[in-house]
Structure 1
Amino acid sequence: MNCTEAKKIDIIMTLKKLGYCPIKETDREAWFLSPFRHEAKPSLKVSKQKNVFYDFGIGLGGNLIDLLSKLLGSVKEALNYLSENNTSFSFHQQPIITPKTTSAINVIEEKTIQHHALIDYLFDRKISISIARSICKEVHFTLNDKKYFSIGLKNISKGWELRNKYFKSGSSPKDISLIQSGHNTLVVTEGMFDMLTLLSMDNSIRKKADFLILNSCSFSEKLNEYAVKYDTINLYLDHDETGRAITEKFLTKELNYHDRSSFYQGYNDLNEWWVEQK
């Protein structure tokens, strides 16, 4: 697959195949939650007429290769993904496309992480396999009548956060995840890989602290419930605009909140810094 061929593939169908369903859709465009970050309101628009996207949150737009290169890391990875997952659907300009109701993620099996593709993915993210197995599961699920598998972290409402090399989504209901052992310190991260990174760096933290994973910045207000339950709340949030805003908000609100993110300053998040160090 070359770039010319890849640009003809429908962006909307590709995003759906990756597990990102449109939140809002009209005859001319579709709006998605950005695959590049956690957000509560859709900020990525796809033009059905031109088959191009624009992410208003980061000011990035372009064709399918531009989108997948940002998501997967390079043009080579984008072309590899499209070649390995050849869906044979090309883009055709159609003025009217009837919005379709997308199927929900349906979890069909959960088990110990063992698939080589998921182990390779953890290795790429520099995460300890044993630590991932102690907290996460290998989750098999269906989406739009097709079967997939991912690393999964269950939330307190029994939904799943699902991640693999090409997929970043979750099953309903969405909520925070908690790992509690009765400690007086709470460690807060935005995503599961930031939490797995901390434990891969120093697994003894589990003997000193409980863990809360937001799974979405839209759940940050739930931290208010834990201000009186813990003596110390350590924040390891992202260094993007949203993560910094949440950190500053809670630092000024309660004395027991502490920003612990300074050592990975210059990187978007903790796992990005960890991968670079390794």
Structure 2
Amino acid sequence: MENERPMWIDKSKLKEIRDNIRCPYKLLNSLGISISKDTEHEIWCLSPFRNETKASFKIRKDELIWFDHGMNEGGGPLELIAKLNNVNIYKAGRLAVDYGLTSAIGLVNSIKPRPIQKKEVKKEKNIIELPKKYSLVPYLRPYHPVITQRGLSQVTCEKLRFGFLPMSSKSNLKGRIVFQIRGVKEVDSELKPTILTHIGRAISEKQETEGGKWRVYSGFEKKSALYNIDNVLLSSQVTSQVEKYGLVIVEGCFDVAKLYEAGIYNVVSTLTASLSDKQIDKIEFIQSKIKIPEIKIWFDNDEAGKMGTQKAIEKLKGFDIPFRPIEWNQLKSENKKDACDFSVDELKQFRQLGLI
């Protein structure tokens, strides 16, 4: 029936769910935990609970018992789901069913997810719902293997308002690395930040195939926004760097994050390999509020990025702010395709040399 309530999970059903979670790889994948080392009896991973470079989280293959050496805590699969999603053990049991982790077919059929209202099917698999203006930031976790492997810290996550959105979220961006995109509006001569939307980056090839590399809400145009414009105009630390070094324009959110990690804050992202007229209008708005001595274009080191750079140069001709592309051949960029591929030390050196 349309309004049928889902069956309550009691202790016996909870035990049945626990006993039927048998694949460690499926468990780890569903929680977005990447494997660092796979041995005969154990799997080692970077801890999903904090930022680290050496794996201290392990799970036994036979019993699916996990232990995190960094916090001296462990448990079974349901305890792991509960801790990662900040829910009780019964909710963790339902999440395990929703994730498809249990092999008990009868159990899956008896515990049905709460019915949801049917929505119109979108033509683009990565376009979902309407733009979300409320903040998802309180629900984002700064510690996730995808974030850690990119060399990004909790501080950077907090400054730029991004992180991993747990699978327990009701948002269609759940299970992805989510960035909050903000703009700036002027009210009574005062600049105020405003939430435009959130976008979510896939954390696995399977997720990318099924839902797109980036998921965005319908009604939001990437070419109408500049990621990090809010900090450029509202943070004195960022504003001072813009006035000293100019404005660096990159493609992606992760490029901005890696530059932030290196202490380079005078940067915005176009979210695509192009610079639109609307984004140029936003740069002019920035210039009307603070002095931009120079614009530096640093799109990706691929065909789309190179073509986007050339088109951006043509659009900026006649602009009253000096501009130049950042030359990849000056950056010792072998096997590197975008700004976030460089280490923090390399980025700091580029700043010292005046390259960025």
Q: How high is the TM-score relative to the length of structure 2? A: 0.41
Return closer, same or farther for 1:149/1:268 CA change in 2, 3 Å cut-off.
Answer: closer
Greater fraction of residues in strand? 1
Which residue of 2 is the match for residue 243 of structure 1? 305
Per-residue deviation, residues 133-174 of structure 1 (Å, max 9, x unmatched)? 11123455523xx95453323143611222252353222413
For 1:258, which of 324, 334, 352 is the aligned residue? Answer: 324
Residues 227, 256 of structure 1: 8 Å contact kept: no
CA distance in structure 2 between the partners assigned to 1:141 and 1:221 by the alignment? 35
Residues 136, 153 of structure 1: 8 Å contact kept: yes
Aligned-pair CA distance for 1:106 = 6.9
Aligned-pair CA distance for 1:245 = 1.4
Residues 140, 162 of structure 2: 8 Å contact kept: no
For 1:220, which of 258, 261, 276 is the aligned residue? Answer: 276
Give the residue type in structure 2 aligned to 1:238.
D
CA distance in structure 2 between the partners assigned to 1:161 and 1:217 by the alignment? 17
CA distance in structure 2 between the partners assigned to 1:186 and 1:224 by the alignment? 12
Which residue of 2 is the match for residue 197 of structure 1? 258
Give the residue type in structure 2 aligned to 1:194.
D
Return closer, same or farther for 1:134/1:147 CA change in 2, 3 Å cut-off.
Answer: closer
Output aligned runs, 1:60-79, within 5 Å: none
Which residue of 1 is the match for residue 248 of structure 2? 187
CA distance in structure 1 between the partners assigned to 2:170 and 2:323 by the alignment? 37
Which residue of 2 is the match for residue 17 of structure 1? none
Output aligned runs, 1:1-278, within 5 Å: 101-102=121-122, 104=129, 107=132, 110-112=136-138, 115=141, 118-138=143-163, 139=165, 140-143=169-172, 147-148=174-175, 150-156=177-183, 158-166=196-204, 168-172=214-218, 173-175=220-222, 176=225, 177=227, 178=229, 179-181=231-233, 182=239, 183-184=242-243, 185-201=246-262, 203=263, 205-206=264-265, 209=266, 211-217=267-273, 219-225=275-281, 226=283, 229=287, 230-251=292-313, 253-254=316-317, 256-262=322-328, 263=331, 265-266=333-334, 267-274=336-343
Residues 193, 271 of structure 1: 8 Å contact kept: yes
Aligned residues between the structures: 176
Per-residue deviation, residues 52-91 of structure 1 (Å, max 9, x unmatched)? xxxxxxxxxxxxxxxxxxxxxxxxxxxxxxxxx6699xxx
Aligned-pair CA distance for 1:233 = 0.9
Per-residue deviation, residues 93-135 of structure 1 (Å, max 9, x unmatched)? xxxxxxx71352675752357637x532211111122112111
CA RMSD of aligned residues (A): 3.7
Per-residue deviation, residues 201-241 of structure 1 (Å, max 9, x unmatched)? 2x1x33xx3x3211123553434322682331112210111
CA distance in structure 1 between the partners assigned to 2:100 and 2:332 by the alignment? 38
Residues 249, 270 of structure 2: 8 Å contact kept: yes
State the structure with more CA Rg: 2
Structure 1: gaps spanning 5 or more residues: 1-84, 89-99
Q: Classify the secondary structure of the residue corresponding to 1:142.
A: coil
CA distance in structure 2 between the partners assigned to 1:187 and 1:141 by the alignment? 35
Aligned-pair CA distance for 1:265 = 3.1
CA distance in structure 1 between the partners assigned to 2:148 and 2:202 by the alignment? 12
CA distance in structure 2 between the partners assigned to 1:114 and 1:163 by the alignment? 13
Structure 2: gaps spanning 5 or more residues: 1-98, 103-119, 123-127, 184-194, 208-213, 234-238, 348-356
Which residue of 2 is the match for residue 28 of structure 1? none
CA distance in structure 1 between the partners assigned to 2:268 and 2:150 by the alignment? 20
